């Protein structure tokens, strides 16, 4: 597994976002980026209020946190 940067998680979110909500978990993103889910989860929390193009909100918590992602309306 390689190191991950905040910028790579941000880029992944922007590229994945759609006009319809998408629901993601850190482990799914980590799998796509070949990094640890713990590192991704740390950045998701930080990026929640720091994204202009997409909306990211903590949606649910069961076994792990689910994040709701969608493109912001202009």
What long-range pairs does 36-40 form, CB within 8 A, spacing at least 24? 36/1, 36/4, 37/64, 39/4, 40/4, 40/9
Of the chain, the percentage scoring pLDDT greater than 70 comes to: 96
The domain spans of the chain are 6-71
The pLDDT score that the predictor gives to residue 32 is 94
pLDDT band at 45 (very low <50, low <70, confident <90, very high): confident
What CATH number is given for 6-71 in this structure? 1.10.10
pTM score = 0.84
């Amino acid at each position: 597994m390689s190191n991950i940067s905040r910028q790579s998680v941000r880029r992944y979110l922007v590229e994945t976002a759609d006009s319809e909500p998408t629901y993601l978990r850190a482990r799914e993103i980590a799998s796509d980026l070949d990094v640890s889910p713990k590192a991704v989860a740390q950045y998701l929390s930080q990026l929640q209020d720091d994204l202009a193009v997409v909306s990211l909100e903590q949606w649910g918590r069961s076994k792990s946190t689910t994040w709701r992602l969608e493109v912001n309306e202009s």
